[in-house]
Structure 1
Amino acid sequence: MLRHFIIALMLAAVMAAGLAVTAAGMAQTQNQTTPAASAPTPAKNDYSKSESWLCRPGRQDACAVDLTTTIVAANGKLTRETWAANPKAPIDCFYVYPTVSNDATPNSDMVAGPEELNVIRAQFARFGSQCRVYAPLYRQVTLTALRAFLAGRIMAIDLALGYNDVLNAWNYYLEHDNQGRGVVLIGHSQGSLVLTQLIKNEIDGKPLQSRIISALLLGTSLPVPRGKDVGGAFQHLPLCHSAKQTGCVITYASFRSNAPPPANSRFGKVPGENMVSGCTNPAALAGGSGELHAYLGSRGSGVVSTEMVQKSWVTPSQPIDTPFVSIPGLLTAEC
């Protein structure tokens, strides 16, 4: 997870720098005798097209993957857990993926690469057993742009492009697919930043809020007033404290228990004397410690790279041929 914290931090810095570069560029243009030609406005995506979506219900797409899992017990016993999507799921899930694109451009294209496909498999496809799955492609700020920023080069990123893509996909979903159903919003890293803005602009305190079962805004720092659940990023969507609660937000940025966020951290902390970063533990919404029911890639790969070699999960080594493993008792979490 540390890698994604760094990526999100870089993204926040790039956004600030990108705005500064835009302002400087405008000032320079004003001083020129002949104004430079403005860049063409990117075409609006058409989310009625099948190829604009990574996942939609009833398709053989990025969410239609093998999620079979080997359960590794503490005594080394291995058991196999199968998985299947529920075509009659009563609710929907709408997912915006994190910063994964390795495209050479500052904003990604609309062609799914291995990175987008892998993050769907790792983070989102499993929700298909509980909800109908919707995951739009969007022209996100790329890892290429973030790496350039680290090297002192600012690429001409378009901050509004990815947000407007997701907004258009959301509006298409509402008009053509939702039909009044409850929906869970799910985002991570850049996806959480986009969804936070979408909720602020389109949902918080508006009639549409009644359809929101929950929002999972992960790998981000969501500000709330100290001791309260609303009044920071959102005025009407509180933090979740019960599995029976709806219309609420689950959010966290995870750290190892022996490496808490330092004083100058951009995660787990937010600006403002009376503001704190919201934290809800999905394993113990009411508070305290809880055991995580985690699904881990059996090859040790993350959401961007798939080039890891098979690891041994037990001693003595036993072959594991499933794409995922789950190890009861291995991981716990607490806010």
Structure 2
Amino acid sequence: MLATVATPVHAEPEIGPQVAWLCRPGLAENPCGQDRDGELGDTPRGRFPDGRTVSLQVSTAGPGSGTASADSADVDCFYVYGTTDLLPNPVQGTVPQIRPEHVSMILEQAGPLLGRCRMFAPLYRQDTFIQLAVNVVTRTDSYEGPGFDDVVAAFDDYWSRDNLDPVTGKRRGVVLLGHSQGSVAIQNLLRARFDGNPETTAQLVGALPMGGKVRTPADRVTGGGTDPESTFQHLPLCAREIGAPIPVGCVVAYSAYAADSSTPGPGSMVWNPGSEHRTACVNPATLLRPTAGEAVVPISPVVATRALTGGDGPDLPGGFVRYPGALSASCRVATDVDGGTSSWLQVHGDLSALLGDAAHPLAIPGSGDLGLHAADITLTLGDLTDLVTAQAARWHSTRP
């Protein structure tokens, strides 16, 4: 789903934050298919509002090691979807309702994670495509609406009712994931409830605010509470040296552009005025397989099939196909003549040949301000799934 992270100004909400769930373990007719314990059963299925169900099985195309496995039973995922609504969902001041596009987005972006964590995904009163189009014209970049408050309220509900394990009496680990407008919501949530808070950061397995502007100092080291230009004051970007363990409690973020496109400049998802700060880029593949420097390394897309999307994608059985190493990528940094800095995930490979379907979001041309925005998560979803699994195992092994 094509979306941007810019957001317009709203009037004051008529009522306070609303808590409503797209996916929650044990939810009646849960679109994510999980029971109260987060289990998917022998034949995992996602469910759409009209009752249609789709397979959540992931098959692997060609040779590859597949996905790693680990005991992540005490880890949850908290996911916020990107822009899906053409019209307001719903009229301001009432509780949002599940729509088919919400289900499509969470399954396409987080479906392979459903076997790795309990999935909590709130509905929220988001900015619509129409509102975002107006924002692009007016270059408005602020958010005064109720949607992000809905996300924080939902997290508080989860934290008070579901994060504390009734059997062990311990709090569970949590992974935060969002894309585009959902990435902005996750960034706000991290600032409001995690950044500088020892109680919650102790439970943070990892944070994945994808396709949004996570601003960090140009040396990639997060500030220590004195840098107002940085998105976070205490939460670090994930980094791993060769031979070091998988990092936990850190941030993975990037926006993707095709290698044959022009360098992203002013107006792009990744441009920052001045050279002291940049938009974060962390390649999840290099966290799994660390290299010296920012080398171009293989990445593993996971693509939703036509059975799941209803039209686009490979015509193959199951819900997803993983293509290990089918593409490669590295983080790139460039500074223009005016001192503006861009930092992005540069993707190499024939995207259309990989999919065989020009209508799929991966085939969106890499040029322009958005680049491969619609496919940010899809491009490395195999790596992200493995990373979450490895981080969950590491977090589990280090908890008291």
Assess same fold via TM > 0.5: yes
Corresponding position of 2:81: 97
Deviation at 1:121, TM superposition (A): 0.9
Corresponding position of 2:237: 239
CA contact (8 A) 1:104 1:144 kept: no
Matches of 1:267 and 1:191, distance apart in 2: 15
Corresponding position of 1:324: 320
Corresponding position of 2:190: 199
Alpha carbons of structure 1 residues 113 and 255: separation in structure 2 relative to 1, 3 Å = same
Tell me, yes or no, if structure 1 residue 62 matches structure 2 residue 31.
yes
Q: Which has the larger radius of gyration?
A: 1
Matches of 1:40 and 1:254, distance apart in 2: 34
Give the residue type in structure 1 aligned to 2:56: L
Partner secondary structure for residue 284 of structure 1:
helix
Partner secondary structure for residue 250 of structure 1:
coil
Identity of aligned residues (%): 32
CA contact (8 A) 1:103 1:144 kept: yes
The Cα offsets for residues 49-79 of structure 1, whole Å up to 9 and x where unpaired, read as xxx21111244411122212343227xxxx9
CA contact (8 A) 2:305 2:312 kept: no
Corresponding position of 1:121: 107
Give the residue type in structure 2 aligned to 1:123: Q
Corresponding position of 2:219: 227
Matches of 1:91 and 1:334, distance apart in 2: 29
Instruction: Please give the root-mean-square deviation of Cα atoms over the aligned residues, in Å.
Output: 3.3
Matches of 2:136 and 2:90, distance apart in 1: 14
Alpha carbons of structure 1 residues 186 and 104: separation in structure 2 relative to 1, 3 Å = closer
Matches of 1:123 and 1:310, distance apart in 2: 14
CA contact (8 A) 1:102 1:115 kept: no
Deviates more, 1:103-112 or 1:268-277: 103-112
Q: How many residues align?
A: 283
CA contact (8 A) 2:307 2:319 kept: no
Alpha carbons of structure 1 residues 141 and 40: separation in structure 2 relative to 1, 3 Å = closer
The Cα offsets for residues 195-215 of structure 1, whole Å up to 9 and x where unpaired, read as 111212221111222211111
Q: TM-score scaled by structure 1?
A: 0.74
Pairs within 5 Å for 1:163-182: 163-179=148-164, 180-182=171-173
Pairs within 5 Å for 1:284-303: 284-285=286-287, 286=290, 287-299=294-306
Give the residue type in structure 2 aligned to 1:259: S
Select which of 57, 60, 73 maps to 1:71: 60
Pairs within 5 Å for 1:18-37: 18=9
Partner secondary structure for residue 321 of structure 2:
strand
Give the residue type in structure 1 aligned to 2:218: R
Give the residue type in structure 2 aligned to 1:298: T
Consecutive unaligned residues in structure 1, runs of 5 or more: 23-38, 313-319
The Cα offsets for residues 77-126 of structure 1, whole Å up to 9 and x where unpaired, read as xx9x99x998x712111111111123356878611111101011101232
CA contact (8 A) 1:100 1:115 kept: yes
CA contact (8 A) 1:294 1:327 kept: yes
CA contact (8 A) 1:92 1:182 kept: yes
Tell me, yes or no, if structure 1 residue 146 matches structure 2 residue 132.
yes
Partner secondary structure for residue 73 of structure 2:
coil
Matches of 2:150 and 2:163, distance apart in 1: 18
Tell me, yes or no, if structure 1 residue 41 matches structure 2 residue 14.
yes
Matches of 1:311 and 1:128, distance apart in 2: 21
Deviation at 1:280, TM superposition (A): 0.4
Alpha carbons of structure 1 residues 178 and 260: separation in structure 2 relative to 1, 3 Å = farther
Corresponding position of 1:25: none
The Cα offsets for residues 220-250 of structure 1, whole Å up to 9 and x where unpaired, read as 1211111132022111111101362111100
Bigger fraction of residues in helix: 1
Partner secondary structure for residue 249 of structure 1:
coil
Deviation at 1:322, TM superposition (A): 2.5
Consecutive unaligned residues in structure 2, runs of 5 or more: 34-45, 47-54, 165-170, 224-229, 332-400
Deviation at 1:150, TM superposition (A): 6.0
CA contact (8 A) 1:184 1:215 kept: yes
Partner secondary structure for residue 178 of structure 2:
strand
Select which of 253, 275, 288 maps to 1:273: 275
Select which of 308, 323, 328 maps to 2:311: 308
Q: TM-score scaled by structure 2?
A: 0.63
Matches of 1:107 and 1:146, distance apart in 2: 17
Give the residue type in structure 1 aligned to 2:275: E
Give the residue type in structure 1 aligned to 2:84: V
Matches of 2:15 and 2:210, distance apart in 1: 29
Corresponding position of 2:330: 334
Matches of 2:145 and 2:208, distance apart in 1: 22
Deviation at 1:219, TM superposition (A): 0.5
Corresponding position of 2:176: 185
Select which of 135, 142, 146 maps to 2:121: 135
